[in-house]
A and B are shown apart, each in its own frame.
Chain A
Amino acid sequence: SQTIHQWPATLVQPVGSPLSLECTVEGTSNPNLYWYRQAAGRGLQLLFYSVGIGQISSEVPQNLSASRPQDRQFILSSKKLLLSDSGFYLCAWSELDLRGASGTSTDTQYFGPGTRLTVL
């Protein structure tokens, strides 16, 4: 079965410090990978997604960056954190299985446990 790991679970960082969050997926190959951020009580903001090694698409211009050095590894980084970077960071992989008009298709995102980042 597939599993997705994120670490650390919680992080408190000072403004201006660097950031590195890691996400790894097991049990699947060549997954689409995603980084989301969620502010308290809010929805999911897509930050980056990747369809393969070294392929990164950015959704929101900001001081964050992402890298995919291996097929099942996705890293979120920043050189200098801002107060506004605080939030709940979620990594996810997706499975799209289309079987046409039979109605048995599925489109599922599997989320990691998340990293709660507080920037002070």
Chain B
Amino acid sequence: GQSLEQPSEVTAVEGAIVQINCTYQTSGFYGLSWYQQHDGGAPTFLSYNGLDGLEETGRFSSFLSRSDSYGYLLLQELQMKDSASYFCAVRRYSSASKIIFGSGTRLSIRP
């Protein structure tokens, strides 16, 4: 099968740290990508993990463990502008032209 599972909603406090998980039931993919989408806007690329381990880009980090079929996006020093939906995505070897997106996680930041 092919599916990426994410929590539908996460709430966190401004200044805190939040982790958004992505578990998958697909095998043989190039890597795990993350996208951010603000209300009314288009998704924008955040990060990509081609290899297992942690990738850091400023306040955002992303992690992938192929052996555990699991990845996550970590957001630190949360700001109100981080309130958005976050999607994980993979591109499978067997269908390299397609990208499969997770169902998305709605992150709400409280003051």
Contacts and interface: CB of A to CB of B under 8 A. Distances in A.
A104 B49 CA distance: 9
A107 B45 CA distance: 9
B42 A112 contact: yes
B48 A106 contact: yes
Contacts of A113: 41-42
Contacts of A51: 97
Contacts, number: 66
Contacts of B51: 101, 103
Interface string B44-73: 110010110000000000000000000000
Given A96-B96, A108-B33, A109-B35, 7 more contacts: A43-B87, A49-B98, A57-B97, A105-B31, A108-B45, A110-B45, A114-B41
Interface of B: 30-31, 33, 35, 41-45, 48, 50-51, 87, 89, 91, 96-99, 101-104, 106
28 contacts: A32-B97, A42-B103, A43-B87, A43-B102, A43-B103, A44-B87, A44-B104, A51-B97, A94-B99, A96-B30, A96-B91, A96-B96, A101-B51, A104-B50, A105-B48, A106-B48, A106-B50, A107-B48, A107-B50, A107-B91, A107-B99, A108-B33, A109-B33, A109-B45, A109-B99, A110-B45, A111-B43, A112-B42
